[in-house]
Amino acid sequence: MVSVLSSPNFQWVLMSTILLGLAAGMVGTMTHLRKQGLMSDAISHAALPGVMMAFLLSGEKELLVLIIGAAISGLIGAYLIQVIDHTTRIKEDAAMGIILSVFFGGGIMLLTIANRVGGGKQSGLDSFIFGQAASMVRSDAVIMGLIALLVIILIALFFKEWKVVLFDPNHANMIGIPVKVYQSLYTFLLVFVIVIGIQAVGVILMAALLIIPAVSARYWTNSLFVMFILSASIGGFSGGFGTFVSTFGRNLPTGPLIVLTSAALFLVSLVFGSKQGLLNTYKQTNLIKKKRNVQVQRGDLE
Protein backbone atom coordinates (compact mmCIF):
# COMPACT_ATOMS: atom_id res chain seq x y z
CA MET A 1 0.00 0.00 0.00
CA VAL A 2 2.79 2.42 0.93
CA SER A 3 4.56 1.72 -2.36
CA VAL A 4 1.40 2.53 -4.29
CA LEU A 5 0.79 5.76 -2.39
CA SER A 6 4.36 6.86 -3.03
CA SER A 7 4.06 6.08 -6.73
CA PRO A 8 4.41 9.32 -8.76
CA ASN A 9 1.89 8.08 -11.33
CA PHE A 10 -0.74 7.43 -8.63
CA GLN A 11 -0.12 10.86 -7.13
CA TRP A 12 -0.51 12.58 -10.49
CA VAL A 13 -3.70 10.68 -11.31
CA LEU A 14 -5.11 11.41 -7.83
CA MET A 15 -4.33 15.12 -8.15
CA SER A 16 -5.84 15.30 -11.64
CA THR A 17 -9.12 13.63 -10.58
CA ILE A 18 -9.39 15.94 -7.56
CA LEU A 19 -8.90 18.99 -9.79
CA LEU A 20 -11.39 17.51 -12.27
CA GLY A 21 -13.93 17.12 -9.47
CA LEU A 22 -13.35 20.69 -8.28
CA ALA A 23 -13.77 22.10 -11.79
CA ALA A 24 -16.80 19.91 -12.53
CA GLY A 25 -18.45 21.01 -9.28
CA MET A 26 -17.99 24.69 -10.11
CA VAL A 27 -19.12 24.44 -13.73
CA GLY A 28 -21.93 22.13 -12.67
CA THR A 29 -23.21 24.87 -10.34
CA MET A 30 -23.60 27.19 -13.32
CA THR A 31 -25.24 24.43 -15.33
CA HIS A 32 -27.68 23.72 -12.49
CA LEU A 33 -28.60 27.38 -12.05
CA ARG A 34 -29.15 27.74 -15.80
CA LYS A 35 -31.35 24.62 -15.67
CA GLN A 36 -29.27 22.91 -18.36
CA GLY A 37 -28.53 19.59 -16.74
CA LEU A 38 -29.26 17.76 -19.96
CA MET A 39 -26.83 20.04 -21.82
CA SER A 40 -23.87 18.49 -19.99
CA ASP A 41 -25.11 15.01 -20.90
CA ALA A 42 -25.60 16.01 -24.53
CA ILE A 43 -22.14 17.56 -24.87
CA SER A 44 -20.40 14.63 -23.16
CA HIS A 45 -22.00 12.23 -25.64
CA ALA A 46 -21.31 14.64 -28.51
CA ALA A 47 -17.60 14.56 -27.64
CA LEU A 48 -17.25 10.84 -28.43
CA PRO A 49 -17.17 11.11 -32.27
CA GLY A 50 -14.54 13.84 -31.95
CA VAL A 51 -12.29 11.49 -29.98
CA MET A 52 -12.65 8.75 -32.58
CA MET A 53 -12.22 11.10 -35.54
CA ALA A 54 -9.07 12.58 -33.97
CA PHE A 55 -7.62 9.08 -33.62
CA LEU A 56 -8.54 8.08 -37.17
CA LEU A 57 -6.97 11.23 -38.62
CA SER A 58 -3.81 11.23 -36.49
CA GLY A 59 -3.32 7.48 -36.08
CA GLU A 60 -2.07 8.11 -32.54
CA LYS A 61 -3.73 7.88 -29.15
CA GLU A 62 -2.24 11.07 -27.73
CA LEU A 63 -4.56 12.55 -25.09
CA LEU A 64 -4.03 16.16 -26.16
CA VAL A 65 -4.97 15.31 -29.76
CA LEU A 66 -8.03 13.37 -28.60
CA ILE A 67 -9.05 16.23 -26.30
CA ILE A 68 -8.85 18.70 -29.18
CA GLY A 69 -11.04 16.42 -31.28
CA ALA A 70 -13.50 15.97 -28.42
CA ALA A 71 -13.63 19.73 -27.81
CA ILE A 72 -14.35 20.49 -31.45
CA SER A 73 -17.06 17.85 -31.59
CA GLY A 74 -18.57 19.01 -28.29
CA LEU A 75 -18.64 22.65 -29.41
CA ILE A 76 -20.29 21.65 -32.68
CA GLY A 77 -22.90 19.73 -30.70
CA ALA A 78 -23.57 22.72 -28.43
CA TYR A 79 -23.81 25.03 -31.45
CA LEU A 80 -26.25 22.73 -33.23
CA ILE A 81 -28.45 22.59 -30.13
CA GLN A 82 -28.70 26.38 -30.16
CA VAL A 83 -29.36 26.45 -33.91
CA ILE A 84 -32.15 23.88 -33.63
CA ASP A 85 -33.68 25.69 -30.66
CA HIS A 86 -33.61 29.14 -32.30
CA THR A 87 -34.51 28.29 -35.89
CA THR A 88 -37.08 25.50 -35.54
CA ARG A 89 -40.15 24.72 -33.45
CA ILE A 90 -38.19 22.06 -31.58
CA LYS A 91 -37.63 22.94 -27.92
CA GLU A 92 -34.18 23.00 -26.36
CA ASP A 93 -34.57 19.79 -24.35
CA ALA A 94 -35.69 17.90 -27.46
CA ALA A 95 -32.76 19.38 -29.41
CA MET A 96 -30.39 18.15 -26.70
CA GLY A 97 -31.88 14.68 -26.93
CA ILE A 98 -31.47 14.65 -30.71
CA ILE A 99 -27.84 15.77 -30.62
CA LEU A 100 -27.04 13.37 -27.77
CA SER A 101 -28.42 10.36 -29.64
CA VAL A 102 -27.08 11.20 -33.09
CA PHE A 103 -23.56 12.12 -31.97
CA PHE A 104 -23.24 9.16 -29.62
CA GLY A 105 -24.43 6.83 -32.36
CA GLY A 106 -21.86 8.36 -34.70
CA GLY A 107 -19.17 7.91 -32.07
CA ILE A 108 -19.96 4.22 -31.63
CA MET A 109 -19.85 3.75 -35.42
CA LEU A 110 -16.45 5.48 -35.60
CA LEU A 111 -15.22 3.35 -32.69
CA THR A 112 -16.16 0.24 -34.66
CA ILE A 113 -14.25 1.55 -37.67
CA ALA A 114 -11.23 2.42 -35.49
CA ASN A 115 -11.18 -1.10 -34.03
CA ARG A 116 -10.97 -2.50 -37.57
CA VAL A 117 -8.28 -0.22 -38.98
CA GLY A 118 -6.34 0.77 -35.88
CA GLY A 119 -3.68 -1.92 -36.20
CA GLY A 120 -3.54 -2.40 -32.45
CA LYS A 121 -3.06 1.29 -31.65
CA GLN A 122 -6.78 1.67 -30.95
CA SER A 123 -6.50 -0.39 -27.77
CA GLY A 124 -8.13 1.51 -24.93
CA LEU A 125 -10.29 3.81 -27.03
CA ASP A 126 -13.44 2.19 -25.69
CA SER A 127 -12.42 3.39 -22.22
CA PHE A 128 -13.71 6.82 -23.23
CA ILE A 129 -17.25 5.42 -23.02
CA PHE A 130 -17.09 4.26 -19.39
CA GLY A 131 -13.79 5.80 -18.29
CA GLN A 132 -10.55 4.19 -17.15
CA ALA A 133 -8.33 6.40 -15.00
CA ALA A 134 -5.94 3.50 -14.41
CA SER A 135 -4.81 3.74 -18.05
CA MET A 136 -3.69 7.34 -17.58
CA VAL A 137 0.00 8.16 -17.55
CA ARG A 138 1.73 11.19 -16.05
CA SER A 139 1.43 13.31 -19.20
CA ASP A 140 -2.32 12.61 -19.38
CA ALA A 141 -2.78 13.59 -15.74
CA VAL A 142 -0.78 16.79 -16.22
CA ILE A 143 -2.93 17.84 -19.20
CA MET A 144 -6.13 17.09 -17.29
CA GLY A 145 -4.95 18.89 -14.19
CA LEU A 146 -3.76 22.02 -16.01
CA ILE A 147 -7.00 22.44 -17.97
CA ALA A 148 -9.09 21.83 -14.84
CA LEU A 149 -7.00 24.39 -12.96
CA LEU A 150 -7.51 26.90 -15.78
CA VAL A 151 -11.29 26.41 -15.55
CA ILE A 152 -11.21 26.96 -11.77
CA ILE A 153 -9.15 30.14 -12.14
CA LEU A 154 -11.45 31.60 -14.82
CA ILE A 155 -14.50 31.04 -12.64
CA ALA A 156 -12.84 32.43 -9.51
CA LEU A 157 -11.41 35.54 -11.21
CA PHE A 158 -14.74 36.61 -12.71
CA PHE A 159 -17.04 35.37 -9.96
CA LYS A 160 -18.80 38.74 -9.54
CA GLU A 161 -19.56 38.88 -13.26
CA TRP A 162 -20.75 35.27 -13.30
CA LYS A 163 -23.10 36.03 -10.40
CA VAL A 164 -24.83 38.83 -12.29
CA VAL A 165 -24.93 36.99 -15.61
CA LEU A 166 -26.43 33.86 -14.06
CA PHE A 167 -29.22 35.58 -12.14
CA ASP A 168 -29.99 38.71 -14.15
CA PRO A 169 -28.49 38.86 -17.66
CA ASN A 170 -30.58 41.94 -18.53
CA HIS A 171 -29.11 43.86 -15.59
CA ALA A 172 -25.65 42.59 -16.58
CA ASN A 173 -26.11 44.14 -20.03
CA MET A 174 -27.22 47.43 -18.49
CA ILE A 175 -24.10 47.74 -16.32
CA GLY A 176 -21.77 46.92 -19.21
CA ILE A 177 -21.05 43.22 -18.70
CA PRO A 178 -20.78 41.48 -22.11
CA VAL A 179 -23.36 38.75 -21.47
CA LYS A 180 -22.84 37.01 -24.82
CA VAL A 181 -19.11 36.76 -24.15
CA TYR A 182 -19.72 35.17 -20.76
CA GLN A 183 -22.35 32.82 -22.17
CA SER A 184 -19.88 31.70 -24.83
CA LEU A 185 -17.17 31.33 -22.19
CA TYR A 186 -19.54 29.22 -20.10
CA THR A 187 -20.04 26.88 -23.06
CA PHE A 188 -16.27 26.59 -23.53
CA LEU A 189 -15.74 25.87 -19.82
CA LEU A 190 -18.46 23.22 -19.88
CA VAL A 191 -16.92 21.57 -22.95
CA PHE A 192 -13.39 21.71 -21.50
CA VAL A 193 -14.43 20.05 -18.23
CA ILE A 194 -16.29 17.33 -20.09
CA VAL A 195 -13.52 16.51 -22.56
CA ILE A 196 -10.81 16.27 -19.88
CA GLY A 197 -13.02 14.05 -17.75
CA ILE A 198 -14.19 11.51 -20.28
CA GLN A 199 -11.04 9.40 -20.02
CA ALA A 200 -11.35 9.12 -16.25
CA VAL A 201 -15.14 9.03 -15.90
CA GLY A 202 -16.41 8.30 -19.43
CA VAL A 203 -18.92 10.05 -21.67
CA ILE A 204 -21.86 8.23 -20.07
CA LEU A 205 -21.07 9.14 -16.45
CA MET A 206 -19.40 12.54 -16.93
CA ALA A 207 -22.74 14.36 -16.74
CA ALA A 208 -23.30 12.89 -13.27
CA LEU A 209 -20.06 14.45 -12.01
CA LEU A 210 -21.33 17.82 -13.20
CA ILE A 211 -24.89 17.56 -11.93
CA ILE A 212 -24.75 15.68 -8.61
CA PRO A 213 -22.31 17.92 -6.64
CA ALA A 214 -24.24 21.07 -7.54
CA VAL A 215 -27.60 19.54 -6.63
CA SER A 216 -26.14 18.25 -3.36
CA ALA A 217 -24.72 21.67 -2.45
CA ARG A 218 -28.09 23.30 -3.04
CA TYR A 219 -29.52 21.41 -0.05
CA TRP A 220 -27.11 23.18 2.30
CA THR A 221 -27.15 26.84 1.31
CA ASN A 222 -28.92 29.70 -0.44
CA SER A 223 -25.66 31.57 -1.01
CA LEU A 224 -24.17 31.33 -4.50
CA PHE A 225 -20.59 31.65 -3.22
CA VAL A 226 -21.08 28.94 -0.61
CA MET A 227 -22.81 26.77 -3.20
CA PHE A 228 -19.78 27.06 -5.50
CA ILE A 229 -17.44 26.08 -2.65
CA LEU A 230 -19.59 23.17 -1.47
CA SER A 231 -20.17 21.84 -4.98
CA ALA A 232 -16.45 22.03 -5.78
CA SER A 233 -15.61 20.33 -2.47
CA ILE A 234 -18.08 17.50 -3.10
CA GLY A 235 -16.75 17.02 -6.62
CA GLY A 236 -13.11 17.15 -5.50
CA PHE A 237 -13.68 14.70 -2.64
CA SER A 238 -15.59 12.34 -4.93
CA GLY A 239 -12.79 12.41 -7.49
CA GLY A 240 -10.08 11.79 -4.91
CA PHE A 241 -11.94 9.16 -2.87
CA GLY A 242 -13.12 7.27 -5.96
CA THR A 243 -9.58 7.16 -7.32
CA PHE A 244 -8.16 6.08 -3.96
CA VAL A 245 -10.64 3.23 -3.50
CA SER A 246 -10.29 2.00 -7.08
CA THR A 247 -6.52 1.89 -6.73
CA PHE A 248 -6.64 -0.53 -3.80
CA GLY A 249 -9.70 -2.46 -4.94
CA ARG A 250 -9.62 -5.45 -7.21
CA ASN A 251 -10.46 -4.32 -10.73
CA LEU A 252 -12.80 -1.64 -9.45
CA PRO A 253 -13.52 1.02 -12.11
CA THR A 254 -12.58 4.56 -11.14
CA GLY A 255 -15.34 6.44 -12.98
CA PRO A 256 -18.29 4.59 -11.44
CA LEU A 257 -16.69 4.80 -7.98
CA ILE A 258 -16.32 8.58 -8.33
CA VAL A 259 -19.98 8.88 -9.33
CA LEU A 260 -21.14 6.53 -6.54
CA THR A 261 -19.18 8.55 -3.98
CA SER A 262 -20.85 11.70 -5.27
CA ALA A 263 -24.24 9.95 -5.15
CA ALA A 264 -23.65 8.91 -1.53
CA LEU A 265 -22.93 12.53 -0.60
CA PHE A 266 -26.09 13.53 -2.44
CA LEU A 267 -28.15 11.14 -0.30
CA VAL A 268 -26.63 12.63 2.84
CA SER A 269 -27.48 16.12 1.57
CA LEU A 270 -30.98 15.07 0.57
CA VAL A 271 -31.76 13.80 4.07
CA PHE A 272 -29.73 16.09 6.35
CA GLY A 273 -29.38 19.28 4.27
CA SER A 274 -29.87 22.33 6.46
CA LYS A 275 -31.90 24.28 3.89
CA GLN A 276 -34.03 21.88 1.89
CA GLY A 277 -33.17 18.48 3.34
CA LEU A 278 -35.97 16.05 4.03
CA LEU A 279 -35.30 15.97 7.77
CA ASN A 280 -35.24 19.76 8.09
CA THR A 281 -38.34 20.10 5.91
CA TYR A 282 -40.15 17.54 8.07
CA LYS A 283 -39.24 19.44 11.23
CA GLN A 284 -40.40 22.75 9.75
CA THR A 285 -43.66 21.21 8.59
CA ASN A 286 -44.36 19.81 12.05
CA LEU A 287 -43.50 23.16 13.63
CA ILE A 288 -45.94 24.96 11.32
CA LYS A 289 -48.66 22.42 12.15
CA LYS A 290 -48.08 22.88 15.88
CA LYS A 291 -48.30 26.67 15.55
CA ARG A 292 -51.55 26.35 13.60
CA ASN A 293 -52.96 23.99 16.21
CA VAL A 294 -52.05 26.43 18.96
CA GLN A 295 -53.72 29.28 17.04
CA VAL A 296 -56.84 27.19 16.51
CA GLN A 297 -57.00 26.30 20.19
CA ARG A 298 -56.59 29.95 21.20
CA GLY A 299 -59.36 30.88 18.78
CA ASP A 300 -61.62 28.30 20.35
CA LEU A 301 -60.90 29.63 23.80
CA GLU A 302 -61.73 33.14 22.71
Say whether pLDDT at 297 is over 80.
no
CB atoms within 10 A of CB 270: 15
Q: Are 61 and 125 in contact (CB under 8 A)?
A: yes
pLDDT the model gives residue 27: 95
Q: What is the pLDDT of residues 173-207, one digit of tens each?
A: 999 999 999 999 999 999 999 988 888 888 888 88
Kindly state the DSSP code that residue 299 receives in the 8-state scheme: H
* Better-predicted residue by pLDDT, 290 or 88: 88
User: Between residues 284 and 193, which one has the greater pLDDT?
Assistant: 193
Mean pLDDT of 236-252: 85
Low-confidence winner among 128-142, 143-157, 197-211, 253-267 (lowest mean pLDDT)? 128-142
- Of residues 134 and 238, the one with the higher pLDDT is 238
Q: What are the CA-CA distances from residue 62 to residues 82, 197, 266 (Å)?
A: 31, 15, 35
Provide the pLDDT confidence category of residue 239 given band limits of 50, 70 and 90: very high
Q: Is the pLDDT of residue 151 over 60?
A: yes
The pLDDT mean for the chain works out to 87
Percent of the chain clearing pLDDT 70 (strictly above): 92
Banded model confidence at residue 161, pLDDT cuts 50, 70, 90: very high
**What number is the average pLDDT over the span 57-81?**
89
119 pLDDT above the threshold of 70: no
Give me the pLDDT at residue 277, please: 84
Residue 227 has pLDDT above 90, yes or no: yes
pLDDT of residue 215 exceeding 70: yes
- Specify the CATH number for the domain of residue 220: 1.10.3470.10
Q: What is the DSSP string of 124-176?
A: TTTHHHH--GGG--HHHHHHHHHHHHHHHHHHHHTHHHHHHHHH-HHHHHHTT
Number of domains forming the structure of the chain: 1
- Domain hosting 196: range is 2-301
Residues in CB range of 75: below 8 A, 6 or more apart: 187, 188, 191
pTM (two decimals): 0.88
